Amino acid sequence: MRKVLFIGLGHMGSSLFKGILKNKKIEAVFYGYDTFKELQDKVINSVDRAKTLNNLEEIISIDINYIIFAVRPIDFDELCDNLNKLDLTNKTIISMVNAIEIEDLKSKFKQHQNLKIIRIMPNMNASIQKSVTAIAHSNVAKEELDFVIKMFESCGIVELIEEKNFATFTAISGCLPAYVFTFFKAITDYGIQNGIEKEKVFRIVEQSIIGSIENASNSGIELKDMIASICVPNGSTIQGQKVLEDNDFEQIIKKCLEQADKYSKPIK
C-alpha cells in the first residue's frame, strides 16, 4: 500500500488533503504533518482515514513513498535542510511551493541521486473539487505519475504543463480565483446597491457568469464575434462595452496577469 505524506496543512494543503481523501478509490494511506500542531490536529481530526506524522524522522520508520511539500516559500529552505538528514532513496517529492523549480529541488537534495520529483500548481478551488492542477516532473516512472495524476484529479482536473510555462499557468489559474472574485464582487455590489437582495444577486450573477463561460467554450465561435453579436447598435450592452474599451479593460487584465506571471518566476 502506498503511503502519502502532506507537509503543510494550511489552506491550500488542507484543501488538497481533504479533497483527495474524499476519493475512496485512491488506494493509499495518508499522513499529515504541520509544525503548528493545533492546525495539524484540527485537519487530521476532520477527515476519515487520515493519520498523523509526529515528526519528520517517521518518514523513514513508516516508509513514506510520496512527500508533498505544501509549505510557504519562506519555510522551504528549512524543510529541505531537515529532510536532507534522512535517506530519501526511492521517495517521490511533490512540491507545490510557488516559484521553486525542479532544478531548485535537485540542488537542495544533491546527495540524493536520481531523486524523483514532481512539481504541481493547484488553485484554491481544490476545496470544492474544482481545482486546475498543473504537473511537471523529472525522473518519474509512468506508474508513479499516473498515481499522482489520479490523486489530484480528486480535486478537479489535471494538466501536464511544460515547466517553462508554470509561471504563466500560475497567473491564469493559480492566481485567477482572486481576480474572478474581484470581478464578481464589483457586479454583485452594483446589484445590491441598486436594490436587489444579496442572495438573489449572487444567484443571478453566478448563473450568468457560468452560463457565459460554458456558452463560449461550447459554441465554437470566436470570442470577439460572440461579443459583437451581443453588442447590437443602440443597445444597452454596447454602451457598457464602450466603457470597458475606453478604459482599456482587456489591457488592464493582461497587465494584471503579467505581474502575476512575473512574480511566479524564480528569482535568479
Residue 124 counted as an annotated binding residue: no
pTM of the model: 0.91
Taken in order 239, 255, 124, 36, the sign of the CA dihedral is: negative
Q: What pLDDT is attached to residue 263? A: 92
What would the 3-class secondary structure string for 205-263 be?
HHHHHHHHHHHHHHHCCCHHHHHHHHCCCCCHHHHHHHHHHHCCHHHHHHHHHHHHHHH
Q: Report d(CA 212, CA 231) in Å as an integer.
A: 15
Q: What pLDDT is attached to residue 112? A: 85
Residue 8 counted as an annotated binding residue: yes
Residue 73 counted as an annotated binding residue: yes
* Region of poorest pLDDT, from 31-35, 51-55, 108-112, 121-125: 108-112
Q: What percent of the chain has pLDDT over 90?
A: 94
| pLDDT at 113 > cutoff 80 | no
Residue 12 counted as an annotated binding residue: yes
Domains in the chain: ranges and CATH: 2-162 (3.40.50.720), 176-263 (1.10.3730.10)
pLDDT digit string, tens, across residues 148-160: 999 999 999 999 9
Residue 11 counted as an annotated binding residue: yes
Q: What pLDDT is attached to residue 114? A: 79
Residue 148 counted as an annotated binding residue: no
Q: Is 19 left (phi over 0), alpha (psi -120 to 50) or beta?
A: alpha
Q: What pLDDT is attached to residue 111? A: 83
Residue 49 counted as an annotated binding residue: no
Residue 9 counted as an annotated binding residue: yes
Question: Across the chain, what does the average pLDDT equal?
Answer: 95
Q: What pLDDT is attached to residue 199? A: 98
Structure confidence at residue 145 as a pLDDT band (50, 70, 90) = very high
pLDDT digit string, tens, across residues 40-69: 999 999 998 999 999 999 999 999 999 999
Q: What pLDDT is attached to residue 268? A: 61
Query: Of the candidates 78, 70, 75, which has an alpha carbon nearest to the alpha carbon of residue 10?
Result: 70
Give mean pLDDT, residues 239-243.
97
Question: Other C-beta atoms within 10 Å of 208: how many?
Answer: 11
Q: What pLDDT is attached to residue 266? A: 84
